[in-house]
């Protein structure tokens, strides 16, 4: 059934109730009052541009905030006024978003007016387009669906641009709180570059065999455990970590405090079978944090006066009072990246009966690297007890004796290290997987030590300095997990072997007191074994399953058979990990400054071409180019440091924490910038279109509503032959309206769509 409106269009008639009075004039604001006829006006190019000035404010704001991001402007640390400023910027972002949408709406409106002012006309559905540029629901309404193909392809992009303008403005305008990269730490006008070099090539940086040459000579002395540069120094801190000596240790996170904080993270093995499980731990090498902190300290003292300038800016570290810095460390050798690595140690221990005459190092539960596959998996490292006469013990004694088992004796397929502990007889009631229930008196341990890749960075706040790495827990990276099907999953790590010379540095005499640092006759391994024994066994406890306790001996009883071996695994793993982290303490590291100085004063003392090199661990005050500092220089230049066989560069990429603008660590910022640039580009094209138009047709009114009423007053809407039908008294209409509009069906047009109605000027 045809609706009344359809009938009107098909007959070309206008309902009497809708037919306008022929003697009514339309003024600017009142369509019910009569007035003299209006003259047709012609808008000039400049009048159209004046109406388009609403585009200027959003473009100006966009240019300002885009400049902040392209120049990576740093704002600063949070303060008490930060929230107020951020709220103001959020308000400004909302205003900017509204201006962006308004400018897009204005451009669409002017295009609609241009279409109405020409004989080409526009589809009726387009009349409301400027009101819905930021509404996606308009794309599903009848007005949009009735448009031609050209409009349905263009307007979704206009709507998308308007919708994305608001979030894009907020993303680009609001600063982000994060670490921002610093390209150049020197703020002065001079051109000065700072670099750090380590006297080690790629192979010696993380050697496969650790020997005593990597540590200072005094680390073999009796008091080595109280010297910070020695491998055994960490034992005093670790021996007080009670969690390491629990029966079931679980995960530990030990903080080693000093000039900077370092973490030792350890965990139980993923698999347990009988009394043999394993424990793994890892930490960062101390020289990494020492080098980063020393670099920061030197640059914090280095000013323009150090190079002969009476005034001017120095380094960022010196000029910034409140600086929260971060240094990301990496190595370069011969132009290639060398991965930062850290030690990770996995240990497995097992108890043996008191009547044993030999022992085999257990390693069936050690899985990092290739230890879960042959040839290591099937290897048997057997040793007669007679090879270690020093650990023979009186089973009636309460003293633990320990010795290191050097790996050189096992050939090419060998562990990193081994250890054996002799105790008094330990009675236990557990019989696990067929193991002997005889009293235990020996514990043997196998070490799987490796270099594992990681990323390292130092954070310096006002009250603390902490070094972090990307994989602090070896369980998350570097640890091999047995999987069904393919067998295992492993992350790249390099096996390391501990030579006898360096292993001896681990078992130096124990110093009982720092107040009176006198070495005792007990070694460090003796002390570790003793603490595990005392923690998990009890003298003359009631025990009814093994043998009578009236044999005249000092019987030790263990409630849990695996307690002592588990204690040894955790404590030895953490101790060796900490010792390996100190292995590079004696490797020289230098800082080098190269560049040019503008007008040094006096020139007789300060050169214009700068080249300074000194040990990075020297007093920061000594790093300068004057004659006074000359005795502290090293005879090395940038040319020497580029020798890849002698030196490896330590790159310290600096960033600082705070609010700022830029593209770092954000994908959304790219989206926001593209949207704002696209809006600016569309605006420029619009301006070019307005200026370049050869003809600027005028309209009697500027609003769509008035133009629509004007069209309705022009005559009958539609006709049976799809042509424009005007009122019967055409002369009276012309007297009232200079511009007339009519409706026609767009049959046979380029869109090939039936039912599209065009409002056009006649």
What does 448-508 look like in DSSP terms, one character per residue? EEEEEE--EEEEE-SS-EEEEES--STTTTT--EEETTTEEE---EEE-EE-HHHHGGGGP
Mean pLDDT over the full length of the chain: 79
Q: Which two tokens stand for residue 635?
A: 């005879």
Lowest pLDDT segment from 102-111, 356-365, 555-564, 734-743: 734-743
Q: Which of 197-206, 248-257, 271-280, 543-552 has the highest mean pLDDT?
A: 197-206
Q: Which uninterrupted H or E stretch holds 683?
A: helix 668-692
Predicted confidence (pLDDT) at residue 486 exceeds the cutoff of 60? no
How far apart CA 733 and CA 567 sit, in angstroms, is: 105
The alpha helices in 174-278, defined as continuous H runs, are 202-205, 235-238
How far apart CA 466 and CA 260 sit, in angstroms, is: 5
CA distances from 696 to 117, 294, 329, 435 (A): 9, 71, 64, 101
Predicted confidence (pLDDT) at residue 60 exceeds the cutoff of 50? yes
How far apart CA 125 and CA 146 sit, in angstroms, is: 7
Whole-number pLDDT of residue 119: 63
Report, in this order, helix, strand and coil percent for the chain, each rounded to 5.
Answer: 35, 25, 40
Residues 6+ apart with CB under 8 A from 746: 123, 148, 753, 756, 757, 758
Burial 321-351 (b: 16+ CB within 10 A, else e): eebebbbbbbbebeeeebebbbbbbbbbbbb
Whole-number pLDDT of residue 387: 87
Radius of gyration of the chain (CA): 42
Residues 6+ apart with CB under 8 A from 445: 347, 348, 349, 350, 361, 418, 419, 420, 421, 568, 569, 572
Q: Answer positive or negative: Cα dihedral of 185, 188, 189, 195.
A: negative
Tens-digit pLDDT profile for residues 666-708: 899 999 999 999 999 999 888 888 777 645 555 444 555 665 5
Q: Comparing 38 with 634, which gets the higher pLDDT?
A: 634
Strands in 139-277 per DSSP E: 176-181, 191-198, 209-210, 252-256, 262-268
Predicted confidence (pLDDT) at residue 287 exceeds the cutoff of 50? yes
Average pLDDT over residues 292-308: 92
Q: Residue holding tokens 């099907």? A: 485
Tens-digit pLDDT profile for residues 420-453: 999 888 877 655 444 556 788 899 999 999 998 8
Tens-digit pLDDT profile for residues 382-418: 999 888 887 766 666 778 999 999 999 998 999 999 9
Instruction: Count CB-CB contacts under 10 A for residue 468.
Output: 17
Cβ(246)–Cβ(534) below 8 Å: no
Question: pLDDT band at residue 26, thresholds of 50, 70 and 90?
Answer: very low
How far apart CA 573 and CA 506 sit, in angstroms, is: 12
| Of residues 340, 342, 338, 341, the one with CA closest to residue 647 | 338
How far apart CA 333 and CA 641 sit, in angstroms, is: 10
Question: pLDDT band at residue 312, thresholds of 50, 70 and 90?
Answer: confident
Tens-digit pLDDT profile for residues 83-134: 999 999 999 999 999 999 888 888 888 777 777 766 666 776 677 777 778 7
Partners of 263 in the β-ladder: 255
| Of residues 112, 152, 155, 115, the one with CA closest to residue 135 | 155
Question: pLDDT band at residue 63, thresholds of 50, 70 and 90?
Answer: very high
Q: Is the peptide bond before 105 cis (omega within 30 degrees of 0)?
A: no
Whole-number pLDDT of residue 754: 39
- Interior angle at CA 578, CA 459 and CA 478, nearest 5: 80
SS3 427: strand
Tens-digit pLDDT profile for residues 345-381: 999 999 888 888 899 999 988 888 888 788 888 899 9
């Amino acid at each position: 059934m045809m609706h009344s409106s359809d009938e009107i269009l098909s007959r070309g008639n206008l309902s009497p109730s809708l037919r306008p009075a022929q003697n009514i004039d339309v003024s600017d604001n009142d369509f019910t009052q009569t007035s003299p006829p209006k003259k047709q006006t012609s808008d000039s190019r400049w009048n159209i541009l004046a109406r388009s000035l609403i585009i200027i404010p959003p473009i100006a704001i966009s240019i300002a905030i885009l400049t902040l991001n392209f120049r990576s402007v740093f704002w600063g640390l949070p303060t008490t006024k930060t929230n107020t400023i951020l709220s103001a910027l959020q308000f400004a972002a909302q205003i900017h978003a509204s201006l962006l949408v308004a400018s897009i709406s204005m451009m669409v409106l002017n295009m609609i007016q241009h279409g109405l002012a020409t004989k080409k006309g526009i589809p009726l559905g387009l009349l409301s387009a400027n009101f819905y540029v930021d509404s996606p629901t308009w794309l599903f309404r009848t007005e949009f669906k009735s448009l031609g193909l050209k409009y349905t392809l263009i307007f979704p992009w206009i709507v998308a641009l308007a919708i994305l303008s608001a979030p894009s403005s907020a993303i680009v305008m609001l600063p982000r709180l994060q670490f921002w990269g610093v390209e150049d730490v020197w703020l002065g006008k001079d051109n000065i570059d700072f670099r750090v070099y380590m006297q080690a090539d790629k192979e010696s940086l993380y050697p496969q065999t650790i020997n005593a040459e990597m540590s200072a000579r005094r680390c073999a002395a009796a008091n080595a455990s109280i010297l910070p540069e020695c491998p055994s120094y960490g034992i005093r801190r670790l021996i007080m970590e009670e969690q390491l000596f629990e029966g079931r240790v679980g995960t530990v996170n030990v903080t080693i405090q000093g000039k900077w904080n370092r973490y030792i993270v350890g965990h139980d093995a993923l698999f347990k079978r009988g009394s043999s499980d394993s424990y793994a731990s890892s930490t960062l090498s101390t020289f990494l944090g020492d080098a980063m902190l020393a670099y920061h300290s030197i640059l914090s003292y280095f000013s323009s006066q150090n190079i002969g300038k009476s005034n001017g800016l120095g380094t960022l570290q010196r000029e910034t009072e409140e600086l929260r810095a971060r240094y990301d460390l990496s190595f370069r050798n011969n132009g290639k990246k060398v991965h930062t690595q850290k030690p990770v140690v996995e240990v497995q221990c097992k108890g043996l009966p008191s009547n044993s005459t030999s022992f085999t190092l257990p390693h069936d539960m050690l899985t990092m690297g290739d230890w879960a596959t042959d040839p290591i998996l099937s290897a048997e490292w057997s040793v007669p007890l007679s090879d270690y006469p020093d650990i023979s013990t009186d089973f009636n004694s309460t003293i633990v004796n320990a010795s290191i088992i050097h790996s050189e004796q096992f050939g090419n397929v060998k562990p990193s290290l081994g250890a054996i502990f002799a105790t008094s007889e330990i009675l236990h009631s557990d019989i696990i997987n067929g193991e002997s229930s005889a009293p235990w008196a020996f514990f043997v341990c196998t070490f799987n030590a490796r270099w594992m890749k990681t990323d390292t960075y130092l954070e310096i706040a006002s009250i603390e300095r902490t070094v972090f790495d990307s994989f602090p827990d070896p369980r998350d990276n570097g640890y091999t997990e047995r999987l069904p099907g393919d067998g295992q999953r492993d992350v790249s790590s390099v096996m390391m072997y501990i030579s006898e010379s360096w292993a001896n540095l681990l078992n130096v005499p124990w110093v009982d007191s720092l107040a009176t640092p006198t070495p005792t006759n007990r070694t460090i391994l003796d002390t570790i074994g003793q603490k595990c024994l005392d923690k998990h066994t009890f003298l003359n406890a009631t025990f009814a399953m093994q043998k009578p306790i009236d044999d005249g001996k000092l019987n030790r009883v263990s409630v849990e058979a695996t307690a002592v071996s588990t204690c040894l695994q955790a404590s030895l793993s953490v101790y060796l990990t900490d010792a390996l982290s100190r292995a590079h303490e004696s490797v020289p590291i230098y800082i080098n400054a190269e560049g040019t100085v503008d007008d040094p004063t006096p020139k007789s003392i300060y050169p214009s071409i700068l080249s300074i090199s000194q040990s990075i661990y020297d007093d920061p005050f000594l790093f300068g180019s004057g004659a006074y500092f000359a005795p502290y220089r090293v005879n090395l230049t940038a040319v020497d440091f580029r020798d890849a066989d002698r030196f490896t560069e330590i790159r310290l990429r600096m960033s600082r924490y705070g609010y700022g603008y830029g593209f770092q660590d954000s994908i959304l910022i790219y989206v926001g910038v593209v949207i704002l640039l696209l809006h600016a580009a569309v605006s420029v094209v619009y301006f070019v279109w307005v200026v370049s138009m050869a003809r600027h047709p005028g309209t009697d009114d500027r609003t769509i509503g008035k133009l629509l009423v004007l069209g309705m007053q022009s005559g009958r809407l539609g006709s049976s032959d799809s042509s424009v039908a005007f009122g019967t008294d055409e002369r009276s209409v012309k007297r009232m309206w200079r511009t007339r509009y009519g409706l026609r069906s767009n049959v046979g047009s380029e869109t090939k769509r039936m039912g599209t109605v065009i409002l056009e000027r006649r």
